[in-house]
Structure 1
Amino acid sequence: MKAVIVEKTLLFAEKILNVYFFLREHKHYRLAEQIVGSGTSIGANVIEAQAAQSKKDFISKMSIASKEARETEFWLKLFNRKDLLMDHPDYKYLSSEIVEIIKILNAILVTSKRRE
């Protein structure tokens, strides 16, 4: 059975790709690059953590995922404008889901550091 965080970050990354293509379509190339980088990196680091060679490696990868999630949350808040993503069909999902992902990652990190 896959960890909830793996499934959540994969679906999140898929929705981020929708936003990426939307922003590029509207000629917001630099903004598209910013959010696709951080938004897909969350899941990539979570996946890498699943194959960690040690507890320290696991914590390191999950910490990076947490930082990327916070950056993505920043971009989403910034893009909450009519001329950007406010009316995009995935915006509300992404905005609420990133908060949940951050909470889960924080809980994983707290637990993992306690057991270190």
Structure 2
Amino acid sequence: MKENKLVSMSIDFSVDIIRLLDNVKGHSSLCNQLERCATSIGANIHESNYAQSKSDFISKLEIALKESYEADYWLELLSRANLASPEAVRSLKNQCGVIRRLLISSITTTKQNRDS
């Protein structure tokens, strides 16, 4: 159940990032980096649902977690460079934070269940 919620939230996050970046002019490398890591979060969460083992499942979620930290970095850079509205960045950082906390919880629970 939690993974389905994560899939849905990560897709929404990706769409919101894409829409935000449609309004950023220039800075294509920064936009590309943010778009790639933001969409990778959902791709790895989705892929984890088809993992071959618990270790593979954990690995996919850990990759998604790393990508969420990277997305947060690029959002902060957009904000500090005044390339996006503070409200839009704040909302996206909040979405990213919720996804990150759910990923951490899923990873921790799966590791505990695997090791017990």
* Structures share fold, TM-score greater than 0.5: yes
1:11 aligns with 2:12: yes
Identity %: 34
Q: Which residue of 1 aligns with 2:89?
A: 91
Deviations 1:28-72 (A, max 9, x none): 111110100101000000000011111111001000000000100
Q: Which residue of 2 aligns with 1:52?
A: 51
The match for 2:99 among 98, 101, 106 is 101
Cα distance in 1 between the residues matched to 2:76 and 2:93: 8
Please tell me whether the aligned partners of residues 45 and 65 of structure 1 are also in contact (alpha carbons under 8 angstroms): yes
Kindly provide the amino acid, as one letter, of the partner of residue 86 in structure 1.
Answer: S
Please tell me whether the aligned partners of residues 80 and 86 of structure 1 are also in contact (alpha carbons under 8 angstroms): yes
The worse-fitting range, judged by mean Cα deviation, of 65-74 and 14-23 is 14-23
Name stretches of at least 5 consecutive residues in structure 1 with no aligned partner.
Answer: none
Paired residues, what number?
A: 113
Please tell me whether the aligned partners of residues 39 and 72 of structure 1 are also in contact (alpha carbons under 8 angstroms): yes
Q: Which residue of 2 aligns with 1:115?
A: 113
Structure 1 consecutive aligned stretches of length 4 or more whose deviation exceeds 6 Å: none
Superposition RMSD in Å: 1.6
Please tell me whether the aligned partners of residues 19 and 32 of structure 1 are also in contact (alpha carbons under 8 angstroms): no
SS of equivalent to 1:79: helix
Q: TM-score, normalised by structure 1?
A: 0.89
Q: TM-score, normalised by structure 2?
A: 0.89
